[in-house]
Amino acid sequence: MQYITPAIIALVIIIALSRRKPLYTDFISGAEDGIDILKSIFPPLVAMLTAAAMLRASGALELAINFISPLANKIGLPAEVMPLVLIRPVSGSGSIGVLSGILNDCGADSLPGRLASVICGSTETTFYCLAVYFSKTRVKHIKRAVPCAVIGDLTGIAAAVFALRLLGM
């Protein structure tokens, strides 16, 4: 398993040499392209990560959880999972941290632990992806993409609740 990456690199080098490609020049050109991509996606990335940190630090996340929890409990979504539901669309690393906290506090085999795991696997960091992709492609009209993406996330959450309830977990 530890030799897969070196084997792939060696295979790429062998193929490039057999096709008489300028290996070093192509590598440098690819690195420059990578830096250009990084420069274009870095500002929206910083903005999205800052917004996620501000949500947590300001207490707005707790207010939203307290507001939504009664409705969420009625559909079978435990209060322990609500921070994950609200952070997941904004921050992937933040949601993994919340998932880790849920698994440590409730246990991996508990309903909140299983539900949080399924939600992490079936939803996306919607606003992060939209910010990065749309900034790179210079798309200006995103008003239809955002509701569709949010509906997709809500569907993933509802399906997770339904599936775990259906299986009796």
Average pLDDT over residues 81-101: 84
C-alpha closest to that of 88 among 39, 47, 129, 60: 129
Would residue 162 count as lying in a domain? yes
In a domain? residue 22: no
Q: Is the pLDDT of residue 90 over 90?
A: no
Q: Is residue 1 part of a domain?
A: no
Q: What is the pLDDT of residue 169?
A: 63
Residue 27 lies in a domain: no
Q: Residue 103, Cβ neighbours under 10 Å: how many? A: 17
For residue 94, is it within any domain? yes
Contacts of 24 (CB under 8 A, 6+ apart): none
Average pLDDT over residues 128-156: 81
Which residues form the domain of 64?
A: 39-166
Residue ranges in the chain assigned as alpha helix (H): 4-18, 23-58, 60-74, 82-87, 92-106, 111-122, 126-137, 145-166
| pLDDT recorded at residue 116 | 92
61 lies in some domain: yes
Does residue 13 fall inside a structural domain? no
Specify if 32 maps to a domain.
no
Number of domains in the chain: 1
